[in-house]
């Protein structure tokens, strides 16, 4: 019997204990490589959470950012903190998390984007996300800085904004990993 439940809620609606459970899950999913900045990047938007009874087994966030592209500052739904507990992968939980957040993105943003891990790349591509083909950069306090190391791992889900996948894509500034 499938006892899992998917919850969609804004950071401000979640109990601190639930946020702590999500932080803990991502810490284990990313095997100790989740930084404080990585976790902070998951906050301030919508969270999709999958519970198996009282156990949190999946998490993903959709936060708002601005991506600069062809002279526009696109209102962007940016996906962060996608993780499913290792022992319950390949059962559709990751897909359920993304389906919920993609629906929010369709209703609220002009484009959705994310920076994929090696493992995540096939997962997103299988869902119809497109790898960005052009140069990427970040709008930092020191101006626009190329982020060449990220060029191959930025994925977008085209929504209402016209996109040239071979053009330049610049993300807004934040501490930690810019993408
Ligand atoms: C990526 C991740 C969230 C996928 O979660 P999941 O619950 O296993 O995903 P699903 O079962 O919904 O997979 C849906 C489809 O995505 C694709 N997919 C998922 N994981 C994949 C993988 N490791 N390699 C290739 N394709 C994959 C497959 O097409 C899969 O369908 P199938 O199982 O019928 O072949 C999970 O593997 C994870 O937590 N990984 C570690 C953290 C991580 O890398 N997160 C992404 C950060 S950008």
Model pTM above 0.85: yes
- Closest Cα to atom 42, ligand 1: which residue? 83
Q: Reduce the DSSP state of residue 78 to 3 states and report it.
A: strand
Angstrom distance (rounded) from CA 41 to CA 54: 25
Per residue in 81-126, pLDDT (tens digit) is 999 999 999 999 999 999 999 999 999 999 999 999 998 999 999 9
Mean residue pLDDT of the chain comes to 97
Q: In terms of DSSP H, where are the helices of the chain?
A: 16-29, 36-41, 93-108, 118-126
Q: Reduce the DSSP state of residue 38 to 3 states and report it.
A: helix
Q: How close is the Cα of 52 to the center of ligand 1, in Å?
A: 18
Percentage of the chain lying above the pLDDT 70 cut: 99
Look at residues 48, 51, 118, 41 and name the one whose alpha carbon lies nearest to residue 80: 41
CA Rg value for the chain: 16
Judge if the beta carbon of residue 126 lies within 6 A of ligand 1.
Answer: yes
Judge if the beta carbon of residue 120 lies within 6 A of ligand 1.
Answer: yes
Q: Tell me the CA distances in angstroms from 160 to 85, 88, 104, 106, 116, one per residue in order.
A: 33, 34, 13, 8, 22
- Closest Cα to atom 11, ligand 1: which residue? 90
Look at residues 84, 65, 64, 86 and name the one whose alpha carbon lies nearest to residue 22: 84
Judge if the beta carbon of residue 82 lies within 6 A of ligand 1.
Answer: yes
Backbone CA torsion sign across 157, 119, 173, 101: positive
Angstrom distance (rounded) from CA 48 to CA 8: 5
Q: Facing residues of 140 across strands?
A: 143
Specify the pLDDT at position 78. 99
Specify the pLDDT at position 15. 98
pLDDT at residue 2 is higher than 80? no
């Amino acid at each position: 019997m499938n006892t899992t439940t998917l919850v969609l809620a804004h950071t401000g609606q979640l109990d601190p204990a639930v946020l702590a459970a999500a932080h803990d899950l991502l810490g284990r999913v990313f095997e100790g490589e989740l930084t404080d900045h990585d976790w902070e990047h998951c906050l301030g938007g919508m969270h999709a959470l999958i519970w198996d009874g009282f156990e949190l087994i999946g998490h993903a966030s959709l936060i708002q950012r601005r991506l600069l592209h062809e002279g526009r500052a696109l209102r962007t739904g940016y996906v962060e903190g996608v993780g499913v507990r290792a022992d319950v992968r390949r059962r559709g939980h990751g897909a359920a998390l993304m389906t919920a957040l993609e629906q929010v993105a369709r209703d609220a943003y002009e484009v959705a984007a994310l920076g994929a891990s090696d493992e995540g790349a096939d997962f997103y591509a299988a869902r119809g996300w497109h790898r960005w083909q052009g140069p990427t950069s970040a709008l930092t306090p020191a101006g626009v800085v190329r982020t060449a190391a990220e060029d191959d791992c930025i994925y977008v889900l085209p929504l209402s904004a016209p996109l040239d996948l071979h053009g330049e894509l610049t993300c807004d500034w934040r501490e930690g990993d810019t993408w």
